[in-house]
Amino acid sequence: MATRRGSLSQEKSREDITTYTAAHGHRSPKPEKGHVNGFKKNGVNGKNGKHEHLSNWHNDFYESFEETPLLVAILTYLGYALLVVIGQIRDLMRAYGIEKDKSCTEPKLEGFVPLFLSWESFYTRNLYRRARDCWNRPISSCAGGRIDVMERISPDYGWNFKLTGKKLNVMNFGSYNYLGFAENSGPCTDKVEETVKQYGVGVCASRQEMGYMDIHRELDEQVAEYLGVEAAITVPMGFATNSMNMPALVSKGCLILSDELNHASLILGSRLSGALVWTYKHNDMADLEKKLREAVCFGQPRTHRPWKKILIVVEGVYSMEGSIVRLPDVLRLKKKYKAYVYLDEAHSIGALGPHGKGVVDYFGVDPHDVDVLMGTFTKSFGSAGGYIGGTKRLIKHLRTHAHSSIYPMAMPAPTAQQVISTMNVLTGKDGTQEGLKRIRQLAWNTRYFRKRLHDRGYILYGNKDSPVVPLLLYMPSKVAMFSRETLRRGMATVVVGFPATPLIETRARFCLSAAHTKEMLDEAIRIVDDVGDLLRLRYSSLPAPDFTEKDIQLVE
């Protein structure tokens, strides 16, 4: 049962990969030359837009997706079954007044079907409620390397909460603060403060009316330059960047080929567009090619007319799996089948590549090869909003056709300034090496943390260069315990369970940051170990990947 699923095993049919998986099993061969997270060994760092690593990127692409051990899967299902049985009994007791019902109930309206009655409310009432304290924790500080969590207690097992007034200052492994720009002091914050004094906070108008400020123009131009594309448009909300722009790109008669694990904003945008959506298996290039071939050969259903457009929709880093899109392969397929690519770099922009320019930079592909380059400012830039980059024609079209450019209020000036300032730091325009230092620190932290946890026998998902690190917990009881026990020991983490993950793949998810020091990482690993022993979490039966201490170092 201890085989791997996911991107590597799916590609077993491909000759080049077969030899390497067969020879190395769980491991990938050590890269002798070439790039390490885009950092070139023995030479200049990887150059954005140059194709120098493209031929050998497979050699340095390590992703692990160890399958759920059979016994653990059985015990996890039994755990959920037990919770459902207990939930049913308690619902029965509540119906007969034996137990007090504290849930919100709908007034009974004669002749109406209930508005909220569903399996989800049963799940929320009886299962989620028991661990509610692990989510929606109130925070009272900046989302930096450390964070203040406001302590709460529940007098009635998760129905209600009271704040104790105490703040727990703990290490923050839950925020998407990849480059540590979520800070409340320093040059970027000073600049934002100046901007508040100049422009105020709100804009109070949409871009098409009185909301288009000089700072928006500056931001659009800076984003385009940063991405290495002709033009860009920025939007005040990342989610809306996807959901409101996709309908302006595809419509009825078009086909969207969407990775099955794409973000909700991409799914919503796809649905709103009216295009037909086919999903393909996560990061599985064989499945994507099969669907592309089918689409090109058979055309639209019933009429068999050719599709007006085919749009492949992918993410740079998948935030629940920690995997990285196989971009060079996606681009190869897009060219072969004359499709378009929409790439969401929400979690990869800033966090991947030698210059922090995302997955495009990581693989060293030409940004012009990606038709629609989307990303958000909410993660690596410590701000808010999103962008789309591409050709001038594309951006001009979106400016006049996308709901996000016409209807919502424009981005607040301080929010725009935060992005401008952080991009200046990342590109060295501020005259320092701070940006490069942060990019490297994050890349080093990622490999160091992942390697140490792999060595200790935990099952981790994802790519060795992904700063999103999911650690598999499986059983529902362990999810709540893991979250509470790590917090008690001084570490805030996010735990994710059904319905956000499959029932038997519940996990903790660590988000690494350049704001984490080595001492913090070592302390976090000690805490995970401590809790891991308590909950018996060392499930892996495969040898640890063989990327070495030397691979952790990023050679100049």
Reference 516, options 237, 137, 267, 179; nearest CA is 179
Query: How many C-beta atoms surround the C-beta of residue 249 within 10 A?
Result: 23
Our CB check for ligand PLP shows the closer of 381 and 449 to be 381
Reference 343, options 395, 385, 388; nearest CA is 388
Cβ–Cβ < 8 Å for 503, 541: no
Which residues of this protein are in contact with ligand PLP, per CB under 6 A? 237-239, 242, 263, 265, 315, 319, 344, 346-347, 376, 378, 386
**What CA–CA distance (Å, rounded) separates 169 from 207?**
40
Q: Which residue is nearest to ligand PLP (CB)?
A: 238
Our CB check for ligand PLP shows the closer of 350 and 386 to be 386
Our CB check for ligand PLP shows the closer of 321 and 344 to be 344
Q: How far is the CB of 385 from ligand PLP (least distance, A)?
A: 7
**What CA–CA distance (Å, rounded) separates 165 from 159?**
19
Q: How far is the CB of 313 from ligand PLP (least distance, A)?
A: 10
**What CA–CA distance (Å, rounded) separates 556 from 554?**
6
Beta strand 372-376 pairing with 340-344:
parallel
Cβ–Cβ < 8 Å for 359, 324: yes
Cα-Cα-Cα-Cα dihedral sign, residues 518, 494, 381, 321: positive
Our CB check for ligand PLP shows the closer of 215 and 468 to be 468
Beta-carbon contacts of 105 under 8 Å, excluding residues fewer than 6 positions away, are none
Q: How far is the CB of 418 from ligand PLP (least distance, A)?
A: 13
**What CA–CA distance (Å, rounded) separates 548 from 211?**
52
Our CB check for ligand PLP shows the closer of 6 and 382 to be 382
Our CB check for ligand PLP shows the closer of 295 and 373 to be 373
Beta strand 386-390 pairing with 231-235:
antiparallel
Our CB check for ligand PLP shows the closer of 352 and 475 to be 352
Our CB check for ligand PLP shows the closer of 412 and 476 to be 412
Record the tokens describing residue 71, joined without a space: 């016994």
Q: How far is the CB of 419 from ligand PLP (least distance, A)?
A: 12
Q: How far is the CB of 378 from ligand PLP (least distance, A)?
A: 3
Q: How far is the CB of 412 from ligand PLP (least distance, A)?
A: 14
Do you find a cis peptide bond into 502, omega within 30 degrees of 0? Answer: no
The dihedral formed by the CA atoms of 298, 299, 305 and 310, expressed in degrees to the nearest 10? -160
**What CA–CA distance (Å, rounded) separates 472 from 458?**
7
Cβ–Cβ < 8 Å for 107, 507: no
Q: How far is the CB of 49 from ligand PLP (least distance, A)?
A: 23
Our CB check for ligand PLP shows the closer of 319 and 421 to be 319
Q: List the alpha helices (DSSP H) in 429-517.
A: 434-455, 476-488
Cβ–Cβ < 8 Å for 371, 339: no
Q: How far is the CB of 347 from ligand PLP (least distance, A)?
A: 6
Our CB check for ligand PLP shows the closer of 175 and 540 to be 175
Give me the phi and psi of 34, to 5 degrees please.
Answer: 95, -155
**What CA–CA distance (Å, rounded) separates 512 from 531?**
19
Q: How far is the CB of 374 from ligand PLP (least distance, A)?
A: 8
Q: How far is the CB of 319 from ligand PLP (least distance, A)?
A: 5
